[in-house]
Amino acid sequence: MASAALGVVEGPDLDPDGERVALGVGAFALLGLPVPADFGAPGSRRQILVDAGDGVVAYTVAAADSDRGEIIRMGRAAMARLLLEAPPPSPVDVTTDVLGRCELLETTVLRSCATVAVIAPHGGSIEDETDEQADLVASDPVVRADSWICRAPAGGAFRRWHITSDDLSEASFPGLRALLGVRHEFAVSFHGFGAIGDLDVIVGGLVDDDVKCRVREELQRRLTAVLPRPAKVLLATSSHDPHPGLLPGNVVNRLARQGGLQIEQASALRRVPHATRTVAEVVRDELATLTSPATAERPAGGTHP
């Protein structure tokens, strides 16, 4: 792990949420980072922490600026995450030691002969309740599961610590690297979003569509019992759907031979008593069915390498 003082220059935002930045070639050298041959390859986009005086913010290095030296190039959305409106006049502190500030806590549990991986990349105050859901599913003895959970404390947690699942790099998170080193048949990730119309849950990922359909139907049935209205659950099958989790580089899809299941939940739903537990129990029950000996003997409906 390395740290450096880097200047900030303004450029175009590399993503709408300002989570991705570019480094000059000199900055790569100072930080001891290799320049990836392909920034689109799974795990190639390393994470860094940037401190401009108001607390560290996590970014993903998504491009190299070959015409620049020891700089970090970011757009207005990325600077807004640092609570800046323009590039600061002096260098900012940058480090590759994502976990070294002791604010973001990574917890990995590996169990013998686990065939399922359960993750919550944005636990704690980043996306409330998702880490508890992952704990509930992973700790159930009926689902022998490995788990990886990242938790951040309150205090602008989403702004400071959110890293999209398509970018998460095992080079920045050793616990994730350990989890990726184990062969799993299935994987699930728990996430949260703010508000998208009246949607309660989005069921996505590259797991077989039959699995997603069963989860969607059961969520609609069981959530309606805890909500004041019928639950609205979207089955994400297209990249045009919100939060579909369909990219092969999405960490949940990288974890499982048969593709990952991504569960996205509205903030309003996560405030309803018993709702998040109900979601977790539906997922747990489906995983228990998928990993039961009788199910394992039947040919899979579809696989994703």
SS (H, E, C) 97-120: CCCCCCCCEEEEECCCCCCEEEEE
Domains and CATH numbers, the chain: 3-95 (2.40.40.20), 105-297 (3.40.630.100)
The reported pLDDT for the residue numbered 294 is 61
DSSP letter at 271? T
Q: What percent of the chain has pLDDT over 90?
A: 89
pLDDT reported for residue 303: 37
Tens of pLDDT along 250-263?
A: 999 999 998 899 99
Residue 52 φ/ψ region, left for φ over 0, alpha for ψ in the -120 to 50 degree band, beta for the rest: alpha
- Give the gyration radius of the chain's Cα atoms: 20
Type and span of the H or E element at 95: strand 92-95
Q: What angle do CA 52, 57, 61 make, to 5 degrees?
A: 105
**C-alpha distances in angstroms, 241 versus 42, 92, 196, 233?**
22, 37, 11, 12
* pTM assigned to the model: 0.93
Please report the pLDDT score of residue 295 as a whole number. 60
pLDDT digits (tens, 9 = 90+) for 51-90: 999 899 999 999 999 888 999 999 999 999 999 999 999 9
pLDDT in tens, 98-116: 998 779 999 999 998 899 9
> Tokens at residue 104, please?
């973001």
Instruction: Please give the mean pLDDT across all residues of the chain.
Output: 94
Which residues fall within 8 angstroms of residue 273, CB to CB, at 6 or more apart?
Answer: 226
Instruction: State the average pLDDT over residues 5-34.
Output: 96
| pLDDT 10s digits, 130-189 | 999 999 999 999 998 999 999 999 989 999 999 999 999 999 999 999 999 999 999 999
**301 pLDDT above the threshold of 50:** no
* Strand bridging mode 145-152 / 201-204: unpaired
